[in-house]
Amino acid sequence: MYYYGAGLYEDLVVPVTNFHNEDHGLMVLAGDVFDVPIRKDIIHRVVRWQLAKRQQGTHSTKTISEVSGTGRKPWQQKGLGRARHGSLRGPQFRGGATMHGPKPRSHAFKLNKKVRRLGLKIALSARAAEGKLLVFEDLEVPTHKTKNIVNYVNQMENTKKLLLVDGGPINEKLKLATQNLHYVNVLPSIGLNVYSILQHDTLVMSRDAVNRIVERMHTPINR
């Protein structure tokens, strides 16, 4: 029995398979992690926080003290009928300085941990509600050949981008099998984030990854 979540905090029962579509029984997904109400405002805040933190912030413009050029007064103060100027490096001259331009800085801003955690729960719940969250016994592949993953993805319906999440360090065979596929990405459970989930329309998690994510979501927040 497999049913989709409706944001009622009810535990979900999902089938467990693998890359060979073998039956490995059922697994219960915690309702307070995989069946929370969908809130787009929380998702929006978390994605903005993630993208802002990623910005390099290396943009820079030169102030009047940094522009190369003479420091001589261009012409006398009075008597010529021209506007008074003290430097040719000012912003009003061609090749001069930029006033109030960007300087290297961090674009990151703070977001409460409980909001970040809620965002991940909502993203997981959204995929579960769409039936786009699959649970595997493990992410073992027979060989490092890319064709194994390609054949599996081709069997899936309405899947354009696939995110594979394992509990611990990523298996070397799986890394090699997916590294040339732009539509398949692999993450350890500790690296799972809202933006990555939204970028992929299908999420495949190992049983170990699900357990670790639930444990992480149930751990009290340190203040």
DSSP state of 70: -
Distance of alpha carbon 134 from alpha carbon 204, whole angstroms: 5
Within a domain: 1: no
For residues 175 and 87, membership in a common domain is answered with no
From residue 76, how far is each of 69, 80, 172, 201 by CA, in Å?
Answer: 18, 8, 74, 69
Q: What is the pLDDT of residue 1?
A: 38
User: Is pLDDT at 2 greater than 60 in this prediction?
Assistant: no
Q: Are residues 183 and 76 in the same domain?
A: no
81 and 185 both lie in a single domain: no
Q: Indicate the burial class of 90 (C-beta count within 10 angstroms; 0-12, 13-18, 19 or more).
A: middle
Residues 51 and 65 grouped into a single domain: no
Range of the domain at 135: 12-55+108-218
- For residues 146 and 49, state if they share a domain: yes
* Residues 186 and 125 occupy one common structural domain: yes
Residues 6 or more apart whose CB falls under 8 angstroms from that of 107 comprise 52, 53, 55, 57
Beta pairing, strands 202-206 & 162-166: parallel
pLDDT tens per residue, range 137-188:
999 888 889 998 898 888 888 888 999 999 888 889 999 999 999 999 999 9
The structural domain count of the chain equals 2
77 and 163 fall within a common domain = no
> For residue range 23-72, what is the model confidence (pLDDT) as tens digits?
889 999 999 999 999 999 999 999 999 999 999 999 999 999 999 999 89
Distance CA 9, CA 54 (A): 32
> Is 126 found in the same domain as 22?
yes
Smallest CA-to-CA distance from 13 within 25, 23, 28 is with 28
If asked whether residues 76 and 178 sit together in one domain, one would say no
Whether residues 138 and 176 share a domain: the answer is yes
Q: How far apart are CA 179 and CA 200, in angstroms?
A: 16
Helix (H) or strand (E) holding 135: strand 133-136
pLDDT over threshold 60, residue 4: no
Q: pLDDT for 71-110, tens place per residue?
A: 899 999 999 999 999 999 999 999 999 999 999 999 999 9
Residues in Cβ contact with 114 at an 8 Å cutoff, skipping those fewer than 6 apart:
221
User: What letter represents residue 103's amino acid?
Assistant: K
